[in-house]
Amino acid sequence: MVRIDVRSERARYPVLIGPGLARRLPELLTLAEASQTGVVVSSPAIWNRHARRLRRPAGFGPAALVPDGERAKTLATAARLYDECVDRRLDRGATLVAFGGGVIGDVAGFVAATYLRGIALVQVPTTLLAQVDSAIGGKVGVNLPAGKNLVGAFHPPRLVVCDPELLGTLVRREYRAGLYEVIKYGVIASPALLGRLESDLDAIFDRDLAALTPVIVECCRIKADVVSADERESGRRRVLNFGHTVGHALEAITKYRRFRHGEAIAYGMLAAAQLSVARGSMTGAEAGRLQKLIERLGPLPAVADLRSSDALSAIRRDKKVVDGRLHFVLARGLGATAIAADVTERELTTVMTQIGMT
């Protein structure tokens, strides 16, 4: 088991990484000083697939199952979970365990942050994307029709449990979606991680734990380091949004039906790389290396029928707009970033055209 501690101004909590950890949940809750009474929140598909791999404490009743996917990441889903909490008479000492992918983690985390003004949250992510990214950092929330994550809170978990064995049954497309997020970490902070992906991609695709676990550990270390320095995204944490400006817009204008989150971020990274090249902070060769690695993961959904003007409208509503100025993450080569607050809509239109939009 690998332990990585996240130290933020609001909380300190461990991220535990290792095969079989989901079966040790009661023991790990004790380690994190979390209550053995509460509820597991999951989706029907995840629960049917993985319930036997998660050992629940005796004080937990049946799992609370809600729909999964970005279209279910809504206030209505949160309301269903509030009702579950009330029906189960959960008090402020209860623990809510999010057992699923990023959507389950975000919605369950939002409920934990707001029910009784906050109860303990434990994240047990079951997708690669959630293990390397969304389960860490305390960002929780839901979508509105106008855009992604427009309602939310910062609510650090008491504990994050990353069990790579849970990834063995992920469908290939969902697994690939997580690998795009891994690429993001390589671009923003670790050229060595990019090199590991390039050299070990076959073994990583095969879910070989010896190849996969160090990748998860490296991403978690980077995320923990960034979050510890800037929990509330007032500065350094913005680097984690590399690829997310255009990516979130693609998700919004397709009503969360076409793209897995990682797929949309892949397009967003390609657009950000093109803008970085145009502004001189990244070479064409570096952008080409990024594009080649993204292409090696497999085909992305089409974007030729999507209009850049629609995406621009979504970007104007993005939460990364502060005082009317968009904070856009550019790449400085491979392994570093810069934040630009002067990116024009003309520049955005150009790079969206370059990735295939109209």
- 250: domain CATH number is 1.20.1090.10
**Are residues 144 and 205 located together in one domain of the fold?**
no
Tell whether 205 and 156 lie within a shared domain.
Answer: no
Per the annotation, the verdict on 50 as an active-site residue is no
Reply yes or no on whether 117 is catalytic: yes
pLDDT at 9 over 80: no
* Average pLDDT of the segment spanning 350-358: 97
In the residue annotation, 320 being an active-site residue is answered as no
Distance from CA of residue 330 to its chain's centroid? 19
Considering the domain architecture, whether residues 242 and 286 belong to the same structural domain is answered as yes
pLDDT for 300: 96
**Are residues 229 and 311 located together in one domain of the fold?**
yes
What is the CATH number for 67?
A: 3.40.50.1970
Residue 352 has a CB neighbour count (10 Å cut-off) of: 28
Mark whether 233 is an active-site residue: yes
| Percentage above 90 pLDDT, the chain | 87
- 107 with 227, same domain: the answer is no
Catalytic residue among 50, 244, 251, 286: 244
Q: Do 135 and 269 have their domain in common?
A: no
The percent of residues in the chain predicted with pLDDT above 70, rounded, is 97
d(CA 90, CA 178) in angstroms, rounded, equals 33
Tell me if residue 261 is catalytic: yes
Residue 218 among the catalytic residues: no
The reply to whether 259 and 117 lie within a common domain is no
Distance CA 138, CA 110 (A): 10
For the residues 265-270, what does the mean pLDDT come to? 98
Per-residue pLDDT band for 10 (boundaries 50, 70, 90) equals confident
Same domain, 164 and 201: no
Closest residue by Cα to residue 29 from 75, 60, 73: 60
For residue 285, pLDDT over 80 is answered with yes
- Of 79-93, 161-175, 218-232, minimum mean pLDDT range: 218-232
Please indicate whether residue 148 is annotated as part of the active site: no
Q: How far apart are CA 76 and CA 23, in angstroms?
A: 31
| Pairing relationship of beta strands 321-322 and 325-326 according to DSSP bridges | antiparallel
Asked about 89 being catalytic, the answer comes back as no
Confidence (pLDDT) at 229: 83
Mean pLDDT over all residues of the chain?
A: 94
Domain end point (choices 136, 169, 202): 169
Q: Is the pLDDT reported for residue 327 higher than 70?
A: yes
Q: Is 265 exposed, middle or buried (0-12, 13-18, 19+ CB in 10 A)?
A: buried
Residues in the chain: 358
- pLDDT, residue 233, reads 67
Instruction: Give CA–CA dist 81/327, Å, rounded.
Output: 34
> Rounded mean pLDDT of 41-66?
94
pLDDT of residue 323: 61
Verify that 100 and 142 share a domain, yes or no: yes
230 pLDDT higher than 80: no
Residue from 237, 251, 260, 263 carrying the catalytic annotation? 237
Q: Which comes out higher in pLDDT, residue 324 or 30? A: 30
Tell me the whole-structure pTM to 2 decimals: 0.92
End position of a domain, from candidates 115, 139, 169: 169
319-326: long-range contacts, CB 8 A cutoff, minimum separation 24: 319/147, 319/149, 319/150, 320/238, 320/241, 320/244, 320/245, 326/245
Where residue 326 falls among pLDDT bands split at 50, 70, 90?
A: confident
Whether the CB-CB separation of 170 and 127 falls below 8 Å is answered with yes
Q: What would the mean pLDDT of 309-314 be, rounded to a whole number? A: 95
Tally the domains of the chain.
Answer: 2
The residue segments making up the domain with residue 289 are 177-354
Which residue has better confidence, 43 or 61? 43
Question: Quick one: 289 and 340 in the same domain?
Answer: yes
Over residues 296-305, mean pLDDT: 96
Which is the catalytic residue, given 73, 139, 158, 221? 139
Mean pLDDT for the stretch of residues 200-223:
96
Q: How confident is the model at residue 196, as a pLDDT?
A: 96
Q: 147, 169, 191 — which closes off a domain? A: 169
List % helix, strand, coil for the chain (3-state, nearest 5): 50, 20, 30
Query: Average pLDDT for residues 85-94, to the nearest whole number?
Result: 96
Instruction: Measure the CA–CA gap between 180 and 186, rounded to whole angstroms.
Output: 10
**Distance from C-alpha of 261 to C-alpha of 318, rounded to nearest angstrom:** 16
Which pLDDT does position 149 carry in this prediction? 87
Find the angle CA(134)-CA(78)-CA(108) to the nearest 5 degrees: 35
Given a cut of 80, whether residue 319 has pLDDT beyond it is no
Catalytic residue from among 56, 238, 248, 260: 248
Catalytic residue among 70, 181, 231, 286: 181
Q: Comparing C-alpha atoms, which of 288, 276, 279 is closest to residue 336? A: 276
Tens of pLDDT, residues 104-153: 999 999 999 999 999 999 999 999 999 999 999 999 999 988 778 889 99
How much is the pLDDT for 8?
Answer: 78
The verdict on 50 and 132 lying in the same domain is yes
Q: Are 257 and 146 in a shared domain?
A: no
